[in-house]
Amino acid sequence: MNKMTDTNVPKSIPLEGCLNFRDLGGYAGEGGGKIRHGQLYRADDLSKLSAADITRIEELSISVVIDLRSAAELSHAPNPLAERPGFAYHHIPLLDGVNSAPGSPPGIQSLPEMYKSLLPNAGVQINQVFQILGNREGRSLVFHCTAGKDRTGVIAALILNLCGVADKDIIADYALSYEKIRPLCDMMTRRAREAGIEIPEHLLRSDPAFIAEFLDFLKKTYTGAESYLLNTGLSAACLTGLKASLLSKTA
């Protein structure tokens, strides 16, 4: 796979309590435009944000939060932005009722299978996510899960595909996560082993082939993100407005 050009490398936001907080902007999209910087951010678990982290997030003008974690995850690790003044917080669990820690979803043999299963099984939730994205009225937004690579990775892939971003850049964006969250993965593996549980390493990774398989399924089954999102009940006007808000002729 070709390396991303410098102009396409997402801007990582260094935070004390979050490893995988990134600006989704910079990728080339349809019509010669690029995803605007400072509009959408993707992240891992926000429950350990420090006071300085929250100040930094506020400085980025982020005021909308979409939490994709399960109810169980949220109960165990509350989101500090949920009750903070100035933030519109939305909890939209893509896998509610399932402990989404790597290795635990029953019946899921691989991450690509889990990703693909979200399209037919979580259409209502994905519709809700994109309603919020389309109606954010120019406000900057962060969406996140626990590791920031699986549920967050699927939503990021749908957004980028909708905007006409090339597969190679969607894949490269996804693949960055394992590098970012490696300390978290090592800690999870160690704790699991102490409890007598072995987490399959491939469930911790963000290998390019995983999201490539998802993108292939998206195209073969639905012809792409736009058609899929229309099938969930989103309006063409909503999607057109979302693309217009995200795509710019400048980086």
Candidates 155, 183, 153; CA nearest to 171 is 153
Supply the DSSP symbol for 28.
Answer: B
Please give the structure tokens belonging to residue 132. 């919020």
Please give the structure tokens belonging to residue 27. 């990728």
Q: 209 with 41: CB under 8 angstroms?
A: no
218 φ, ψ (degrees, to nearest 5): -55, -45
Supply the DSSP symbol for 63.
Answer: E
Please give the structure tokens belonging to residue 241. 């407005």
Q: 155 with 229: CB under 8 angstroms?
A: no
Our answer to whether residue 18 is catalytic in this structure is no
Please give the structure tokens belonging to residue 192. 């699991």
**Of 145, 163, 185, 238, which is the active-site residue?**
145
Alpha helices in 135-207 (DSSP H): 151-162, 167-194
* Active site amino acids: 145
